[in-house]
Chain A
């Protein structure tokens, strides 16, 4: 009986979704549910930690301040001393959302909860989530560059030489593509490896790989926000 329920943890259903139809559009319900869960976790931690702020932080306030400083450092190194401050909330949102999603997928036994079709897992193991995040990054760096330099922003497409125009245009498409594939592939690969191992040996053996998964998930959150910062910094930097 125990073995049966353990094997439930190893269920693989890539490409199976729990479709919701809202106003004529089809949604992947399992992703929405886990996304709401992630959002409420982040919101709960932030509110409880910062409800009464102390001069000398302790407990959760310490944690949130550490995370804030961490995100600010990412933004500072990628975007630069002068411009980074307005972008901290943006990059911080990415970092927190991706980090908490990845870890919720690795730590919580989502598969125990049965849904009509498909399975609950980290929101980031659905390509639609990661593509949405990557497209937001594209929008952000276009917005950053255009609002900073106006139409002069498009000069970078013909620099350093005009014949590089196709490559520079292509880069705008490969950036979101690689961002989304990297995150999606890493998270899905982690879950697949763990699921395959659990189905072979349900006890103890998968633990090191789950730990490795936690590590790579954290690194992917860092990489995504670092790259988003790098792209934004690249588009708003001044050429002299």
Chain B
């Protein structure tokens, strides 16, 4: 592989995961904050809140995972490797 492409791919993979982690990080924080608030207000609803929270975490997390998939493609299945 062309060393320039290799270097650019590694940098791009780092950025892909790093940038994709920012938004979901903020989102998960907000969601968890509201969930804790909800549990504090209504401790008997803890089970339901936890279920909904975990499910929404999985959805939020998948946004980071898209970044990760892009990073993995760039690292392991780079379409520009032959250039």
How many angstroms between the C-alpha atoms of A151 and B2 in the bound complex? 53
Q: Does residue A195 face the partner (Cβ distance < 8 Å to B)?
A: no
Contacts of A219 in B (CB 8 A): 54-55, 58
Minimal Cβ-Cβ distance residue in B for A16: B76
Contacts of A15 in B (CB 8 A): 76-77
Q: A222 near B68 (CB under 8 angstroms)?
A: no
Contacts of B58 in A (CB 8 A): 182, 216, 219-220, 222-223
Q: Does residue B30 face the partner (Cβ distance < 8 Å to A)?
A: no
With A219-B54, A223-B59 known as contacts, the answer to whether A181 contacts B76 (CB < 8 A) is no
Least Cβ–Cβ distance between A160 and chain B, in angstroms:
24
How many angstroms between the C-alpha atoms of A188 and B69 in the bound complex? 9
Q: B72 near A181 (CB under 8 angstroms)?
A: no
How many angstroms between the C-alpha atoms of A226 and B54 in the bound complex? 13
Q: Does residue B61 face the partner (Cβ distance < 8 Å to A)?
A: yes
How many angstroms between the C-alpha atoms of A181 and B77 in the bound complex? 15
Q: How many residues of A contact B (CB 8 A)?
A: 16
Q: Does residue A184 face the partner (Cβ distance < 8 Å to B)?
A: yes
B:25-83 near A, CB below 8 Å: 54-55, 58-59, 61-62, 65-66, 68-69, 72, 75-77
Contacts of B55 in A (CB 8 A): 219, 222-223, 226
Cβ-neighbour of B65 out of A14, A181, A222, A226 (below 8 A)? A181
Q: Does residue A138 face the partner (Cβ distance < 8 Å to B)?
A: no
Contacts of A216 in B (CB 8 A): 58
Contacts of B77 in A (CB 8 A): 14-15
Q: B66 near A185 (CB under 8 angstroms)?
A: yes
Minimal Cβ-Cβ distance residue in A for B65: A185
Least Cβ–Cβ distance between B51 and chain A, in angstroms:
10
With A15-B77, A223-B55 known as contacts, the answer to whether A188 contacts B62 (CB < 8 A) is no
Q: A189 near B68 (CB under 8 angstroms)?
A: yes
Least Cβ–Cβ distance between A70 and chain B, in angstroms:
12
Q: Does residue A186 face the partner (Cβ distance < 8 Å to B)?
A: yes
Q: Does residue A178 face the partner (Cβ distance < 8 Å to B)?
A: yes
How many angstroms between the C-alpha atoms of A222 and B59 in the bound complex? 11
A:157-188 near B, CB below 8 Å: 178, 181-182, 184-186, 188
Contact with B along A92-106 (1 / 0, CB 8 A): 000000000000000
Minimal Cβ-Cβ distance residue in A for B57: A219
How many angstroms between the C-alpha atoms of A222 and B61 in the bound complex? 14
Q: Which 9 A-B pairs have the closest CB atoms?
A: A185-B65, A182-B62, A15-B76, A14-B76, A223-B58, A185-B69, A15-B77, A219-B58, A185-B68
